[in-house]
């Protein structure tokens, strides 16, 4: 298969396995989505989803979070890891949202990426899943699978994002990025596949003999 044939096959296969792609992070509004995605850095969604109901019961929006002490935020989110930095970021970004955006999350990559603790991936998730604006957030699963499926050379996540955007149309980015994450967690795992075992890898690369060495 060439690259475009692989892309078409993978789209069909993932649509078959994951016809629906619910956002894995629990939230009731875009502010909560932003905070949950920020917390998910170097932390599992499962752990984040245990913490956020407690946090959002205390402060469900930027106004309430602004008035919550950093110490209290830290106490709740401590299981997520990097809690000192994350608690400060959540507190500070809440103040900025209230003071500059009337408590609303800005619908702009540029403004989102200026917020404390918000990088390009976090901004991309919020833009895509929160506002429905085409974006292709690349996490470790997508970076790994894109190399196994020969869609990118794996130089870095920024390059992987650019390469995937050239291959797949904007109309599928929102759904596909979650489908690849789900597949990477369930079938093409970091240690469980290595480019030789899962159905997609075997179908797309039937002659592959050596494991794929993933670049981080």
Going by the DSSP 8-state scheme, the letter that residue 149 receives in this structure is T
User: Dihedral of the CA atoms 111, 116, 121, 123 (nearest 10)?
Assistant: -30
How many other CB atoms are found less than 10 A from the CB of residue 216? 8
Q: Which residues are catalytic?
A: 121, 139
Residue 55: alpha-carbon gap to chain centroid? 20
4-40 burial, b for 16+ CB within 10 Å, e for fewer? eebbeebbebbeeebeebeebbbbeebbbbbbbbbbb
């Amino acid at each position: 298969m060439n690259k475009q044939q692989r892309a078409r096959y993978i789209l069909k296969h993932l649509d078959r396995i994951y016809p629906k792609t619910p956002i894995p992070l629990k939230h009731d509004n875009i502010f909560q989505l932003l905070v949950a995605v920020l917390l998910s850095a170097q932390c599992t969604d499962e752990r984040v989803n245990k913490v956020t109901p407690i946090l959002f019961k205390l402060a469900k929006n930027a106004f309430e979070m602004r008035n919550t002490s950093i110490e209290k935020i830290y106490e709740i989110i401590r299981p997520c890891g990097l809690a000192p930095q994350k608690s400060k970021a959540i507190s500070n970004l809440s103040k900025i949202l209230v003071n500059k955006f009337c408590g609303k999350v800005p619908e702009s990559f540029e403004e989102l990426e200026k917020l404390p603790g918000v990088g390009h991936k976090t901004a991309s998730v919020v833009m895509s899943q929160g506002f429905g604006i085409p974006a292709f957030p690349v996490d470790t699963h997508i970076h790994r699978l894109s190399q196994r499926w020969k869609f990118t050379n794996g130089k870095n996540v920024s390059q992987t994002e650019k390469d995937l955007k050239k291959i797949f149309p904007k109309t599928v980015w929102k759904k596909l990025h979650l489908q690849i994450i789900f597949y990477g967690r369930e079938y093409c795992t970091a240690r469980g596949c290595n480019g030789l075992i899962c159905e997609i890898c075997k179908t797309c690369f039937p002659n592959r003999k050596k494991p794929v060495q993933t670049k981080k």
